[in-house]
């Protein structure tokens, strides 16, 4: 009986730690009239056509690990003309792939992997420690200056009249649903701002199994398949959180946002 109780306690502790590590910010209890709380906001990646201001890259680690995470000590090879000071914070990120929409390049997809803090410097390298870990960090990953983003996103009631489309998922998934972060092909130059809600409309392929010809339903004559909250914006793209979806959405389908 004592052994069973011990196992139960360990299981509960483990479950509690898992919940703390991966908070479900899309539940109804986290939504208020004024702001939406999304604690993982700093892990949200981006799609950008413009140049990203890179300060250096990850050269190696203390114990030569292939994948590095929280509290690991790593070494940065800095790029020229960048100033580094002790305790400064930088974001570790990776270029994933180039995103195309309607045969036109939208930009490159970048994943944010973690936050590092400078410990000390040598003439050739900068010694750092990983203070936040979102994805495994590897040699060759890039770094840029860290800017704190508030996890409280003010809800905006006024939204622009735009017709956008979901063009990529943050984890390059084939199937997406509630809790996933995705990207749309409209950004702040189109009036898109964090805190705006959009409806998602899915174009179903009626004859997907029977014919190569694709037949779409008119989204203006159907109900929405989900709800998207804009988290961050770039000039021509934006990242959003699917706060609700009636089922899993297939990225191969056309997913309209308006």
SS3 80: coil
- What is the DSSP secondary structure assignment for residue 178, as one 8-state letter? T
Four-residue CA torsion sign, 107, 111, 115, 116:
negative
What are the average pLDDT values for consecutive 10-residue runs of the chain, which has 258 residues?
A: 43 37 40 82 96 96 93 95 94 96 94 98 94 97 96 93 92 90 96 95 59 44 83 97 90 76
Per-residue three-class SS string for 117-175: EEEEECCCCEEEEEEEECCCECCCCEEEECCCCCCEEECECCCCCCCEEEEEECCCCCE
Question: pTM higher than 0.85, yes or no?
Answer: no
Per the listing, tokens 């960090």 go with 137
């Amino acid at each position: 009986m004592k052994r069973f109780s011990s196992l139960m306690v360990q299981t509960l502790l483990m479950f509690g730690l898992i919940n703390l590590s991966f908070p479900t910010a899309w539940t109804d209890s986290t939504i208020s009239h004024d702001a939406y709380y999304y604690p993982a906001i700093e892990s949200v990646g981006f799609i950008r056509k413009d140049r990203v201001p890179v300060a250096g890259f990850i050269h190696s680690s203390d114990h030569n690990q292939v994948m590095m995470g929280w509290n690991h000590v790593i070494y940065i090879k800095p790029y020229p003309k960048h100033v580094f000071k002790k305790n400064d914070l930088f974001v570790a990120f990776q270029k994933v792939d180039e995103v195309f929409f309607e045969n036109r390049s939208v930009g490159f997809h970048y994943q944010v992997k973690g936050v590092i803090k400078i410990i000390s410097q040598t003439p050739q390298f900068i010694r750092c420690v990983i203070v936040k870990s979102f994805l495994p960090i590897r040699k060759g990953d890039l770094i840029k200056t860290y800017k704190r983003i508030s996890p409280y996103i003010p809800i905006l009631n006024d939204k622009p009249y735009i017709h956008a489309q979901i063009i990529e998922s943050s984890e390059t998934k084939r199937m997406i649903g509630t809790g996933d972060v995705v990207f749309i092909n409209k950004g702040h130059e189109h009036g898109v701002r964090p805190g705006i809600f959009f409806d998602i409309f899915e174009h179903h392929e009626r004859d997907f199994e029977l014919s190569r010809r694709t037949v779409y339903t008119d989204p203006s004559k159907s109900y929405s398949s989900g709800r998207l909250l804009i988290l961050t914006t770039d000039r021509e793209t934006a990242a959003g959180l699917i706060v609700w979806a009636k089922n899993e959405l297939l990225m191969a389908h056309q997913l309209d946002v308006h």
